[in-house]
Structure 1
Amino acid sequence: MTPETVTLILDISITISLVVGAVFTLVGSFGLLKLDDAMKRLHAPTKASTLGVGALLLASILGAFARDEPSLQEALIMAFLFVTAPISAQFICKVNLHRRSCMTPPEPSSDSTWATLDTADAGDAPAEHLTPEKG
């Protein structure tokens, strides 16, 4: 392939990544404003940050590669973003479930290992580890 062809392919890839990133960021910010419940609203910024910002960072990586100035910073930012966004979303979700601040919280799971809001059955002893301590 000629250098002009490689440059054209990189330019098209950068453009596609920028458009995809902009669309996901726009949809995510619109969802953050328009969704009514905290649990519904939670998905908009997490999807926008992982997909939208990830695509924008990919465009930055491709642009640096096209200028022959490769940088590891964008890849590290993307890795940090992809690791922290789902974890923070899970913690925000758990806080909403424990506060019962969402309109329709899901029923607690019967699995006591992974349940967020595990409740004791009628014949069981009270689940003391789940009740808040009073000081």
Structure 2
Amino acid sequence: MNSLIAFFLIGGTLMSALAVLGIIRLPDMYSRLHATTKSTTLGVIMIMTGAFLYFWYVDGLIETNLLLGAFFILLTAPVSSHLLSRSAFHSDVKPYKLTVLNDLKRDESLPDDTDEPDRP
């Protein structure tokens, strides 16, 4: 059981360290946000699971606060990341210059009536 607890704690720490590398190394806001949200969410959930197992195994306590905290982080981190990326997109934060596809780009120009044929 100690090795399982150590796995969760060390794995969570490594995932959080990976998030730091994502912030430092990735080129633009969108990819940084993606890397930090994914790895930080998994890292914090792994650390909280390891702490839950530790308290359950060593002290005989069932700390539901840790499980609720992990659940709410799992629920709120992707949503907040999505909202941050949408607000950055609508604030015209430019992606990295090698980004090719932009599916959210909207054509905000008025429709041109000259392209349609005349109707009787």
The two structures have a TM-score, normalised by structure 1, of 0.71
Structure 1 segment 60-75 matched on structure 2, within 5 A: 60-66=51-57, 67-75=59-67
Match of 1:38 among 29, 34, 37: 29
C-alpha offsets along residues 63-90 of structure 1, whole Å, 9 cap, x if unaligned? 0110201111101100110000000010
Deviating 4+ runs (over 4 angstroms)? none
**Identity across aligned pairs (percent)?**
24
1:11 aligns with 2:6: no
Mapped partners of 1:106, 1:91: distance in 2:
20
Structure 1 segment 1-135 matched on structure 2, within 5 A: 10-66=1-57, 67-103=59-95, 104=99, 106-108=101-103, 117-119=105-107, 122-123=111-112
CA separation of 1:43 and 1:107: change in aligned 2, threshold 3 A:
closer
Does structure 2 retain, via aligned residues, the 8 Å contact 1:46–1:85? Answer: yes
Q: CA deviation at 1:94?
A: 0.3
Q: CA deviation at 1:99?
A: 1.6
Please tell me the root mean square deviation across aligned C-alpha atoms, in Å: 2.0
The two structures have a TM-score, normalised by structure 2, of 0.79
Higher relative contact order (CA 8 A, sep 6+): 2
Structure 2: which 5+ runs fail to align? 114-120
Does structure 2 retain, via aligned residues, the 8 Å contact 1:39–1:102? Answer: no
Q: CA deviation at 1:51?
A: 0.5
Q: CA deviation at 1:106?
A: 4.3
Q: CA deviation at 1:105?
A: 7.8
C-alpha offsets along residues 51-72 of structure 1, whole Å, 9 cap, x if unaligned? 0011000100100110201111
Letter of the aligned partner of 1:36 in structure 2?
P
Helix, strand or coil for the counterpart of 2:71?
helix
Structure 1: which 5+ runs fail to align? 1-9, 109-115, 125-135
